[in-house]
Structure 1
Amino acid sequence: MNLSISAHHVNVTEAIESYLRNKMNRIARHFEHSIDINIILSISKHEHKAEAKLHFYGRDLFCESVELNLYKAIDDLVIKADRKILKLKNQVKRYSTESIRRRQVATEPA
């Protein structure tokens, strides 16, 4: 998992970075190969915003969460990203199976 963290008007402390790494392991467990995750943390007025851009399977996935607490925004972001990844993986799995027309019919001896 290649994780890059950037911040806008936020100091990224060791606690925030380790919290993000632990939470992003939930995302990385869905993949055998490495994925790229770009995280942007920002504060505007009293709203904490967490954004994530994930690159896997040749696709980009974008998620964002806005909350009053930064840790709550990170938790919500991970839940949203996890849901989107599962949805995309199910779509890929569904389309990768063989068509019913192309399947060979098993013939039983009469």
Structure 2
Amino acid sequence: MQMNLTGHHVDITPSLREYVDTKMERLERHYDHINGMHVILTVEKLDHKAEAKVNVVGKPLFADAKEGDMYAAIDRLVDKLDRQVKKHKEKARDHRAAAVDKADRLPPTPDELGPS
């Protein structure tokens, strides 16, 4: 998965990059079809903000979080994204299951009935 990490008014240290990488791995464990993501970390006065756009099959997902600590903002961001990814995965699975159920409920074709 391709991940871009950008910092506005904050230096992206190797430890911060590693922390974001390990947290975002949780999303990959729950859903394999993540094409890429862009994470932006921002500091404005006393607020630390983390936002991310995750490209999944179907539509992009977006979340942001503000906290007093950057690591807490990242944790909250990942929690929000994780909920969205799980919901997206469930919707995709439900639509496929509904299509299969609908096909099972169709009346049999004359070929399936056999000779009359």
Three-state SS of the structure 2 residue aligned to 1:54 is strand
Contact between 2:63 and 2:77, CA under 8 Å: does it hold in 1?
yes
**Equivalents in 2 of 1:26, 1:9: separation in Å?**
27
Q: Structure 1: which 5+ residue stretches go unaligned?
A: 106-110
Instruction: Tell me the residue number matched to 2:31.
Output: 31
Instruction: Tell me the residue number matched to 1:93.
Output: 93
Please say if 1:103 is aligned against 2:104: yes
Contact between 2:34 and 2:57, CA under 8 Å: does it hold in 1?
no
Contact between 1:42 and 1:50, CA under 8 Å: does it hold in 2?
yes
Instruction: Tell me the residue number matched to 2:40.
Output: 40
Task: Kindly tell me the number of residue pairs found equivalent between the two proteins.
Answer: 105
1:76-99 Cα offsets, whole Å, 9 max, x none, are 000100001001110111111226
Query: Sequence identity of aligned pairs in percent?
Result: 34
What do you get for the CA RMSD once the two structures are aligned? Answer: 1.6
**Equivalents in 2 of 1:60, 1:16: separation in Å?**
24
Runs (4+) of structure 1 exceeding 2 A deviation are 30-35, 98-102
Question: Which structure's CA Rg is the greater one?
Answer: 2
1:40-81 Cα offsets, whole Å, 9 max, x none, are 000111000000000010410000000000000000000100
Q: Structure 2: which 5+ residue stretches go unaligned?
A: 107-116
Higher helix share: 2
Instruction: Tell me the residue number matched to 1:12.
Output: 12
- Name the TM-score, length of structure 1 as normaliser: 0.87
Contact between 1:28 and 1:35, CA under 8 Å: does it hold in 2?
no
